[in-house]
Structure 1
Amino acid sequence: AHEKIKCRNHQTQTTCWDHPKMTELYQSLADLNNVRFSAYRTAMKLRRLQKALCLDLLGLSAACDAFDQHNLKQNEQLMDILQIINCLTTIYDRLEQENNNLVNVPLCVDMCLNWLLNVYDTGRTGKIRILSFKTGIVSLCKAHLEDKYRYLFKQVASPTGFCDQRRLGLLLHDSIQIPRQLGEVASFGGSNIEPSVRSCFQFANNKPEVEAALFLDWMRLEPQSMVWLPVLHRVAAAETAKHQAKCNICKECPIIGFRYRSLKHFNYDICQSCFFSGRVAKGHKMQYPMVEYCTPTTSGEDVRDFAKVLKNKFRTKRYFAKHPRMGYLPVQTVLEGDNMET
């Protein structure tokens, strides 16, 4: 496989060798470009990628077993193509056994290798850091969000469980490469992770090091550079959700996927495709508050929303313009040189 990658490069003088199936996958992602909100657009692209690579079948403990089996302990050391292939083969062999041969091992190994190199080895040196390999696999595996955060934090923390700014920078740098490779980095503060590191340590009252619990509290605020990961989890949860409600715009009923309910008008619901493409019905403005459901509502949530609508009924347009809702912690970017990427 290494030879194949090198040969292609010499012939075409390019560094972007792609498996034909990978090219097909990337082309198919273009139809998600009409999703107006960057975190959702990125998360939906990643969800498609995650399923194509069968990483949505991979549990965290199985991933860790494979890392241990291949002795991937020194996170700052480099792995070559052969080591990557060997570890991926272990991962996919196990997935094939667990999923009644639904997994095509050679194809998955090829595609996942291709994706990891596109994300972490753009110059095609044939090597990536062990930390990068783990970050890529764990970000897209099937696990609870906070378990992923805990695992990734542990990879950069000292043996006593603390993490300084340099080590946190390594983790955030490797994480932001995932949306960067999809051309989606600008919305997450650019590829410069300095503002995110600063944000986390300000949250920790500028202590020299942070521990896991504090890092988790900061991540729960969904910092802008990392918001694509929790949204990926919500996209996955919403996929099969059926809501007993009718979309006020396209009239879809029941609503499948995300359901958006107005907190300004009673009984006003929008399905995800209308919401993402920015369609609105007469009398409902985009800036009016909405609540998102990725799973069907409980009666408690219905009562709570009813109370909010009642309160918002009497609020003016000016109020909503002055109180825009941001679901995540915006990271203040200080332009340090030309690090903005589109």
Structure 2
Amino acid sequence: MPRLNDQALTTTTLRAPDLGRQTRLRLFWLCVVLGLVAICCALSIAIGARNVGFGDIVAAFGGATDTIEQAAIAKRIPRTVLAALAGAALGLAGAVMQGVTRNPLAEPGILGVNMGAALAVVIGLAWFGLASAQAYIWTAILGAGLTAVFVFAIGSLGRGGPTPLKLALAGTATTIALASFVTAVILPRNDIAEGARSWQIGGVGGTSFATIWQVVPFLVVGFGLCLLSARKLNSLALGDDLAAGLGENVVLARWLASLGAVILAGATTAVCGPISFVGLLVPHICRLIVGVDHRWLLPFSALGGAILLLSSDVIGRTVARPGELDVGIVTAFVGAPVFIWIVQRYRGRDL
């Protein structure tokens, strides 16, 4: 019977307690993050142009709209639900895109996916008379998918294939070009210009549960594809050759995960407009908490995205009372400095 040397014996002895301690720490952070989601939801319902009390909140959940406060809460409840769903979708999509491309700068906004969805919706509005929520969502997903393929193809040209820097540059250039096309489509159409410009900023106000129910099936499919890709993303992180040696179908794994991210980004853009930086900021923070294991990183990124978008919406409603800043503006203020920090951090090693 083979004998273990001292080092192997020590490693075997310590591995189980270390894993148990790490799991307990992650579960602790999971409880913390879930608590923060609940707090942000409560703040989103209670705080706005008109603050409300606990009694009005309870009455509004019971269907009462007798007072102005209760009517305001009835409007905020679907807004809060949409902000949580959209934030979770964008945070998860960003984590998956970073895992698929092994690119720390990958994110639906930076890679042009959100703007591709926005351009498709604007073209549909101007030239094809889009009217239903289903048509909006399908069109946005198609635009997001085509843009993702285009950016990856451009970023793959030249030596070295799709490096992080080339993908980021291709995505940024594509975003700028598509934003110009969006403006060119909107300008001659006064009948859609006002609504399209407001939607293009990115926000969660003015929604209803009828709209939310239209997008929920797409989000469920996107969440499912992304979360089921966690183990595959762990294999891809080792490199394509090693992942294939472990029995992983690299092409299929990459495309299924990408499909889930595109569905999430496209469906969210259709309802909220293009919101950037959520998918960039949240996964980096979550890696500091739970590490690089995608089985933990993906759920935490979804919850973290919900926290970021909910809190950004609350901030937007409080800093400009009695008006409000759209959530897309707030996330841009928060995300732009983080983007610069990430570029400087990875410049000498991975870019």
| Higher relative strand content | 1
Q: TM-score range by the shorter chain?
A: under 0.3
With normalisation by structure 2, the TM-score equals: 0.25
The higher-RCO structure (CA 8 Å, 6+ apart) is 2
